[in-house]
Structures are given as structure tokens and as C-alpha cells.
Chain A
Amino acid sequence: MIETVNLSRKYGQLTAVDDVTFKIGKGEVFGFLGPNGAGKTTTIRMLACLISPTHGTATVAGYNIQKNPIQVRQSVGILTENPSLYENLTAYENMDFFAQAYGIADPADRQKRIQELLEFFNLWDRRNDKAGTFSKGMKQKLAIIRATVHKPSVLFLDEPTAGLDPESAKEIRDLMAQLSKHEKCTILLSTHHLEDAEKLCNRVLLMNKGRCLLIGKPDELREQIVTHPIIQIDLTQITNKILQALNNSSHVQEINTKPQETSLMISVKDIRMATPEIVKTIVEADGQILGVNTFRASLEDAYLKLIKGETETQ
């Protein structure tokens, strides 16, 4: 559905997007992850034919972004970084304008579609209020409605949950999940919230400083980057005997202790195999266990580790 080849964009000397190549299949929910200035918005703008690449090319929904920009714009919907709503127009007027701009000529079709979406996002009651009076979350929802009003086959969402409280972010996330099912469109979203990526995306692309670092399923990424899960064991007291016993255990990869705390952070290869063995080892070394917790590395750890590694190598 979306395919880029060496997509690049320069602003003067600065390379905002550098040789990015990827493919997104039909119906996929694909995430762009990356810190501020990574080039997510610039990539999305190029794919939505808002700016042109300085090098490379892409096809979106079967159209080349350089040769058929109008057709590309017709088949994609975009939630821009700013909600971009006309604050002096009502919610309904905003949607009505964009529905017509995207070519829904029949007033009855338009009304039906707008009502359906506004109801879906619980904004129908507020349709006659000016968009300027809406809260940030409501504006965001309205902007998502605008992006989907013409039933695009590809949807670009630039930071759909940015600046929202956790509850609204979750609401938007749920709505996006429903939307991808309900409207069956291919979604490309950019985000800083790894939760979005983990809960919504089939695959993610990690980018930094314009370059693509990794593409893969969220799970794969996590496992690829952070190799070892961690067991946290709280004890009444940490003795040398315990540490020695653990160091001799074949299941233990690395032991970390937090200063002033009687907890051990033990990285292991396989949690299922290692946990009972380690507990047994500690008990045999006269340790008194208060609690055992296991952690799988989160995507966030993976993300931070990768971004950090990237900056350090430079």
C-alpha cells in the first residue's frame, strides 16, 4: 500500500530524512517511532504530497507521489501535527468543507458520513459549536474525523495522542484500533508514546536523525535489542553467601544491586527456567525472600537503549 525507495529530504544543509526505504502492506498499522526531530513529520508530509522529496520516491495507494500527487491526496487522509481546524467554523462546518474538498459532492452522503463519524467519536451533540471552543482532545478527535471523512484507503496520523491526558490518549487509541478494523484502512502513525506502538502497531520503524534504524514487529524489536529478561528479588538482607551462590549458578547472566536497597536485579536467559532455580539457590544460601518479580524489557527500554546507542556512536 505504501512503498518508499531511498526517500530523502533536505532543508538546506540539514538532512531531515535520509534514505528511508520501507514497505507497508494493505490493512497494516505501521508506527514511526523516534525522538523529536527524527524526521517523522517530514516523511509523512512527503507521503501525503505536501512537500516533495529531494531524492528517492514513493508510491502510496498505487500512485507515485511525484507523478500523481492529486490522486495520492485523494486516496489518503492525514492528521497533521497541528489539528489544523478552522476555529471560527463549527465542527460540522469544518467537516462539511473537508468532505466537499475531498470530493463528496452529494449533500445527503456527506451528511450521513459526517453524522456517522461524529457519533462514533461522541461529538455529534457538539456539532454546532465552534471548533475553537473544543478541548485539545476533542480537537484531536475532530481532526481524525476530518482525515477519515472520505474513507481513505491510507491514513496518516502524525502523533495522534500527543499532548493528551492518559485517559484521552487511551480513548483515541481505542478509537484508532476500532477505526482500523471498521474502515479497513492502512494506517501509518507517528508517535513518541511507545504504548501506542505496542498496543496498535503490527510493525514499527524506529528512526533517528532522519535515518531508519530498525523495522520490525514490536515484540521482535524488544527481543532483538534487549536480550535478557530480569528477575527482581527482594530480600531481608543481602549476604555474600547469597551472591556467591548466585554467581555460581548457570542461569544467572548478570546481577545488579541497588544501593541502600535489599533487592537483587538478576538478568537471566529464560525466566521460566531460571526463576525456580534462582529462588532455590537463594533459599539454600539462607536468604529470606520477601518477594519475586519478573520483568520483560519494555519497548521503551529497547527504544531508549537504541536511541542512546545511536547518539553515543556519533
Chain B
Amino acid sequence: MNVHNAWLVFKKDWLEIKRNRQVLMPIIIVPLIFSVMFPIIIGIVGNIPDANVGNNQDFNELIPNLPMDIQNMLADMPPNFSIVYIMSVYMFAPIFLIIPIMASSVIGSDSFAGERERKTIEALLATPISDSELLLGKVLVCFLPAMAVTFAAYGVYMLMIDVMTFGMFGMLLLPNITWLIIMFGVTPVIALCGIGLTIMVSSKVKGFKEAQQISIVLVLPVIGLMLAQILGLIFLGPLMLIILIGIFATIDIAIYYLSIKMFQREEILAKQ
């Protein structure tokens, strides 16, 4: 394994992706919407003093799951404060996990299925670059940009939330330990999972459109997580997150072996 070759493949793919609007648009726009729209929503909700939503009903199930000191703090505050707090810190956190999945599946579909569809793969496979170098290069080109846009989205979101809420709470709400675990622990394992599944889907379908459409179902579990938390079924505290990391890491390893099997010269060309 020559890392230099993998890096070469990465640079080539990145150059292509940078010039491909179809890939670039979704991976820029979705994070932008998330990181700007959510704080605006929170701002609007927080500015409805004592509104109907202010009676905590929506989060009744969630509040008992919060750590005790937070519950005590919120109990002393006006109801819209606790709504702002819960939305800022808990509600939107899992939704951000859609970004690494979406970005890695959009890039991955283009890099794997797209390269086959455009028939450029044959010349690439004719080079002395080995299967594993190719695979690593292509995984990197999905992983690094996906992580970059996700971190950018986290950054913008946290900054906006802190600016908006510092006056209310007198402290910086984010990042807290939950967010740090999500950013540095959950995000990468979920991104890898998305990449692995995209590679597997890409090797089964004809074109990158199809691969993208199928891969996008990966966001469903994330939406499930968010709903489960709102309904109080789970609480994404540090312990739960570490369990999640363990689960995804295990899936990653399984997918890793499967995709190495699927990503073989022979298979790729025979598919045409």
C-alpha cells in the first residue's frame, strides 16, 4: 500500500468534484440551511414570550431525561428559556448527523458509481495503482469533505446559538460535552458508515443517480434518533452517544470488509 497513490486518487477526485455542481450544491446548501435556519427558528420561538408553545408540552417527555442540575436550572427560568435551551442543545443535535451521511453518499455515488458510469474507471484501473490504494483514495475524498462541511455547519450553528443565547443564560451553551462527543465521535463513524454503504450500493446499481437515491435512505435512522429523543424514548447523553459510537464502529468494520470484497477490478469492469 502506497499512501502517495491513494493521495493522488484523492486529489484527482477532489478536482473533479470541485467542478461538479451537482455534487457541490447539496453538500454546501444543506449544511448552510441547517446551521443558519435552526438558530433562526430557535430565535423566533424564543421570542414568543409565554406563547402556547411555552408550556413545555412539546418537550414534556424529554425534560425528565435531562441531567438533574439542568432540570433545576430550567425550573427557575421562564418557560420560553427552557424551550430555547432544549432546542439549542438537544433537539437539533442529531439532525446534524444527516450532513455527514448526505455529503458522503453524494460524493461517494459520484466517485464510485459515477466514475463507472462515465467509463473513466477503465483507464484508472489500468494504472499500477492497487485496489486498496484506489479504495483508500476514494474513501478519503468522501470522508474529508464530508467532515469539513459538517464541522463548518457545527461551527456556524454554535456561534449563532451562543451569540443569541449568551444574554439569556449568561454563559456559552455550546459546545458542551454532548456536542463534542457528537462532533468528534459520532460524526466520523457515521460518515464512514455512509461511505461504506454507498460503495456497496454503487457496486450494485447502474448509475450515480440511482446510487444517490438509495443511499439517501441512510438518513432515516438519524431522523429516527431525533424523534425518539423528542418522544423521550432515548436521551442522547454522553453514555448513549458512546454506545452509538460503538454500534456504528462495529457496523463500519463489517462494511469495511464487505466493501473491500466488492471493490475489485474484476467486479467493477464485469459490471459494465
Contact = CB atoms under 8 A, between A and B. Distances in A.
Contact of B127 (A52, A73, A86, A143): A73
A84 interface: yes
Interface in B11-38: 11-12, 15-16, 19-20
Contacts of B127: 73, 98, 101-102
Given A70-B128, A101-B129, A80 B122 contact: yes
Contacts of B270: 11, 51
Nearest to A143: B123
A93 B15 contact: yes
Nearest to A85: B120
Contact of A82 (B11, B16, B122): B122
Interface residues of B, number: 26
Contacts, number: 71
Given A84-B120, A86-B16, A101-B8, A73 B269 contact: no
A80 B126 contact: yes
A226 interface: no
Interface in A68-116: 70-71, 73-74, 76, 78, 80-82, 84-89, 93, 97-98, 100-103
A101 B120 CA distance: 14
Contacts of A78: 123, 126
A100 B269 contact: no
A101 B266 contact: no
Contacts of B20: 88
Contact of B126 (A48, A52, A71, A89): A48
Nearest to A146: B123
Contacts of A84: 119-124
B130 interface: yes
**Number of chain A interface residues as a range:** 20 to 34
Given A97-B8, A101-B129, A51 B123 contact: no
Interface string B150-163: 00000000000000
B65 interface: no
Given A89-B16, A97-B8, A50 B125 contact: yes
A93 B120 CA distance: 14
B122 A88 contact: no
A85 to B, nearest CB: 7
A98 B15 contact: no
A157 to B, nearest CB: 13
20 contacts: A11-B270, A48-B126, A49-B126, A51-B266, A51-B269, A73-B126, A78-B123, A80-B122, A81-B122, A82-B119, A82-B122, A86-B16, A89-B19, A101-B5, A101-B8, A101-B9, A101-B128, A101-B129, A102-B128, A143-B123
Given A89-B15, A98-B127, 10 more contacts: A51-B265, A71-B128, A74-B128, A78-B126, A85-B123, A88-B20, A89-B19, A101-B127, A101-B128, A143-B123
